[in-house]
Structure 1
Amino acid sequence: MYGAHVTAVDAARTRLLKVFRPRTSPPSVAMVLRSVLWPLAIMSVFHRTYVLATNGYITDDFGPVYRAVINFKMGWDIYNENFNHVDPHYLYPPGGTLLLAPFGYLPVDASRYWFITFNTVAILLAAYFLVRLFKFSASSVALPALILGMFLTESVTSTLVYTNINGCILLGEVLFLMWLLDGRHSREWLAGAAVGLTLVVKPSLAPLLLLPLLNRQWRALATAFGVPLVFNVVAWPLTSDPGSFIERTVPYILSTRDYFNSSILGNGIYYGLPMWLILLLRVLFAALAIGSLVLLYRYYRTRDPLLWMVTSSGVLLTASYLVLSLGQGYYSMMLFPFVMSVVLPNSVIRNWPAWLAIYGFFTMDRFLMWHWPTTGRFLEYMKITYGWSLLLIVVFCVLYFRYLDAKSDGRLEQGIDPPWMTPAKERDSVGA
């Protein structure tokens, strides 16, 4: 037994020292990149999760959740918040309270740390499934690059620091897209259940239900509506004041606030824009989104389902953040599947304006300036709104000019991709 232990220790020591010894052959570019990216990715996850998230910040999204699940456990009223102050409020329906109820059986610190852990694991799983969705292997450079990119964004950092549930929402979105694209009937049920679980908590991904509707994947729609219905039916009699959710909370959700709101309506009200201009801008960007969705549906749905689905998801979500009444910056993390489409040869975001837009809503850079406070506050508050706006403009322009070029060349029946682009069916080297 002792000899076997010594042998195992020697083997481990040999493997460790081998890392620092001169290589017997030149390393590949992929090997070098993995050696660089994995330590950076791991440390970024550690820093955001263990350091920043446990320190917390001025905003605490978990506090109202913990109060609600404790009240649910004790049989006390939940939907009795004072909406006159700007602190985070509990807005989840009774079904969401039931889903999160186990966190009420832990002390507050332990509950919060487990909540952070679950969301971190969910983000990492979403990264893994995204990499697989785009036909990369788990051992490729893509996985550490994606994880590093995710955890360097404001969206992921704020989600963990504020202790929000967006990480689990992202995982539900990725599973939804992955199982819809699988094509098997059994996976359609699972796709609907995945997005349905997110809808139990909040309706952030509700616009994505247009995708199975357009694709005639009725099974996904059945479970997407069925799962939140079942949770709320079960939770309704178990909640002390379910009627207050309809009478007090829903009107607040449907109202527009002028703080922590990057939508056109929210920023427009904050800066005092006339309502006709706000309405015009909302209609304009809704029209851009509709135009993009029509072109995507007509020319990519059957020719390139992956590009169609992830790009359409990005357009739908971006438009909802921009045009509807509430769009918060960390919602942008739901755009990771769309941003990942840059690896596809016919992606619509292989251009610098698209990445200027992505910088706007993903960056952690702060623009507050001591010498020019008005300018700094404007840039700080508007960078996300401008990023979403520019992204919708870019997607529409790329698709529209592709359409015009294909029409002038008389090749619309073959699609609108430029002739030099590799067709989707010939992409056998994407995962290399």
Structure 2
Amino acid sequence: MRWDRSRAVRIGARAVMAAALVTAVALFVFGNPPLLRLLPSPLVPITHVDFDTFWRSARALVNGTGIYDTDAKLHNLNPPILSLLMAPLGMLDAVLAYRIFVTLTVLMVAGSVFAAARELRIGRFWTVVAVVSVLASSPLHGTLALGQIYGILLLGVTAGWIAERRGHPVLAAVLYGVTVAIKPSLAPLLLLPLVQRCWPAFRAGVAAAAVTTLAGLVAAGFSTGPQWLRMALTEPVATVLDNAALPGLAIRWGLPSLVGTLVGVALMIGTLVFFGIRTVRHGTSAAYGTDPAGVAPWAVLATGLLTAPISWHNYLILLWPGLLVVVASGRAGDARRVVVGALLALAFIPITWSDLWAPGDPLTPAGQALYSAILLACWLTLLRPATGPWWPDTAPGSGTGDPFRSAEVTARPSG
């Protein structure tokens, strides 16, 4: 019976993988031009709208004017620290600055995924799959075309995760804190040391976020803090299909956004409580000791993305290293590895998916849920190494004791 259920999961995941790849190829061939064709465009304010927003704020900071009072097409919903980080690009021509930023983003994304694969020692095959899949994914293409900052965020979270795996939870918390200061929607990461009773790490993370935020306010002016808060809190929930957050999905399904928010908060609290209970059961305050797989930050991060008012599908690249943790926790032919392969394949489906769904079509609600479903599936899959088997292992006698039994990812001593 165990074998039959596992076989069903593998067959279903492979069917999803095949369907996703066929759909992605069809949309690339018959749909709108791929996003990668937009990268060479010199029309920064029109094509690379997110980067134009950040660049104008950075340029305003360099020139000593208001970073939120620019002529950008979109509102800058990021704290002042981002303008400080991008100030060097604000000194350059917009087109040159964009091309430098895109190059750095590719390096940060590919480098972070490669570093995670090496840290997990998942082997050459899965390392190549991980790097190639993220480079070929629609979320990365959208990130590059629009000029979004997810490469910076991925670098920060990956560096923190590696520090924690290597026995440095305080350093990890500091890196998470800095990342959260850049993108506050990732704030649930700072709650993880709290529920894991790792008090020094919790204090360090909160302090790092506060100091980083203060640095941005000092550079841009303290008046920019309330100004940013007003814009961030009054920005409406995006209803477009590529907002994968649950509040956006609720609106697309004709429900109040509060419904999606409450579901997301419930998932977040449940995930945090789960890892908190593990800490109590293990009787230790060492965060890594209760999370030997190193999966907790990624699972919590996924709940933050589900709960935020806006989480573009492009945010999915932030979860790539977490999915590799699931790969490392399995064995060749294990169902969980096939499930990860299906999730990576689903990420190839481009945003032209939205062109298939007309208002009033009975299938439109299901089609509009795709990106949210992918994010939900990632969250569920990310919990797999830290829980009992939701589907059985394929190898006879493999057991279900240590959820991260692979010798290639044993914990390292601190120091």
State whether TM-score is above 0.5.
Answer: yes
Q: For residue 324 of structure 1, what is the aligned residue in structure 2?
A: 308
CA distance in 2, matches of 1:401, 1:197: 33
Count of residues paired in the alignment: 360
Given the alignment, which residue of 73, 89, 94 partners 1:108? 94
> For 1:297-328, what per-residue CA distance to the aligned partner results, in whole angstroms no more than 9, with x for missing partners?
56787777342x32x22321222222332222
Given the alignment, which residue of 338, 354, 360 partners 2:322? 338
Structure 1 residues 69, 305: closer, same or farther in 2, change over 3 A? same
Q: For residue 174 of structure 1, what is the aligned residue in structure 2?
A: 158
Q: For residue 96 of structure 1, what is the aligned residue in structure 2?
A: 82
Structure 1 residues 314, 389: closer, same or farther in 2, change over 3 A? same
TM-score normalised according to structure 1 size: 0.69
Higher relative contact order (CA 8 A, sep 6+): 2
Q: For residue 39 of structure 2, what is the aligned residue in structure 1?
A: 53
Q: For residue 66 of structure 1, what is the aligned residue in structure 2?
A: 55
Q: Which structure 1 segments of 5+ residues have no match?
A: 1-47, 406-417
Given the alignment, which residue of 140, 146, 150 partners 2:134? 150
Q: For residue 68 of structure 2, what is the aligned residue in structure 1?
A: 79
**Contact map agreement 1:354 1:390 (CA 8 A) in 2:** no
Given the alignment, which residue of 373, 383, 395 partners 2:370? 383
CA distance in 2, matches of 1:141, 1:274: 45
CA distance in 1, matches of 2:292, 2:146: 33
- Find the residue that maps to 2:49 and give its secondary structure: coil
Structure 1 residues 358, 99: closer, same or farther in 2, change over 3 A? same
Structure 1 residues 265, 113: closer, same or farther in 2, change over 3 A? same
Structure 1 residues 401, 283: closer, same or farther in 2, change over 3 A? same
Q: Does 1:264 align with 2:246?
A: yes
1:22-421 map, 5 Å = 52-55=38-41, 58=47, 60-80=49-69, 87-136=73-122, 140-183=124-167, 187-240=168-221, 242-246=222-226, 248-255=227-234, 256-260=236-240, 261-274=243-256, 277-278=259-260, 281-282=263-264, 285-286=267-268, 289=271, 292-293=274-275, 297=279, 305-307=291-293, 309-310=294-295, 312-345=296-329, 350=336, 363-364=349-350, 366-368=352-354, 374-375=360-361, 378-392=365-379, 402=389, 420-421=399-400
How far 1:230 sits from its partner (Å)? Answer: 3.2
TM-score normalised according to structure 2 size: 0.71
Matched-pair identity in %? 19
The code of the aligned residue for 2:349 comes to: T
CA distance in 2, matches of 1:198, 1:399: 24
How far 1:221 sits from its partner (Å)? Answer: 3.8
CA distance in 2, matches of 1:400, 1:428: 18
CA distance in 2, matches of 1:129, 1:428: 18
The code of the aligned residue for 2:371 comes to: I
The code of the aligned residue for 1:321 comes to: L
- Find the residue that maps to 1:259 and give its secondary structure: coil
> For 1:253-305, what per-residue CA distance to the aligned partner results, in whole angstroms no more than 9, with x for missing partners?
23442334332222323443156754664465456535654566567877773
Once superposed, what is the RMSD of the aligned Cα atoms?
Answer: 4.0
The code of the aligned residue for 1:179 comes to: A
Q: Which structure 2 segments of 5+ residues have no match?
A: 1-33, 411-415
Structure 1 residues 68, 213: closer, same or farther in 2, change over 3 A? same
The code of the aligned residue for 2:304 comes to: S
> For 1:206-240, what per-residue CA distance to the aligned partner results, in whole angstroms no more than 9, with x for missing partners?
22223333444445444433344334434434425
- Find the residue that maps to 2:39 and give its secondary structure: helix
How far 1:60 sits from its partner (Å)? Answer: 1.8
**Contact map agreement 1:345 1:421 (CA 8 A) in 2:** no
Structure 1 residues 69, 136: closer, same or farther in 2, change over 3 A? same
Structure 1 residues 378, 367: closer, same or farther in 2, change over 3 A? farther
CA distance in 1, matches of 2:391, 2:36: 51
- Find the residue that maps to 1:363 and give its secondary structure: coil
CA distance in 2, matches of 1:333, 1:157: 10
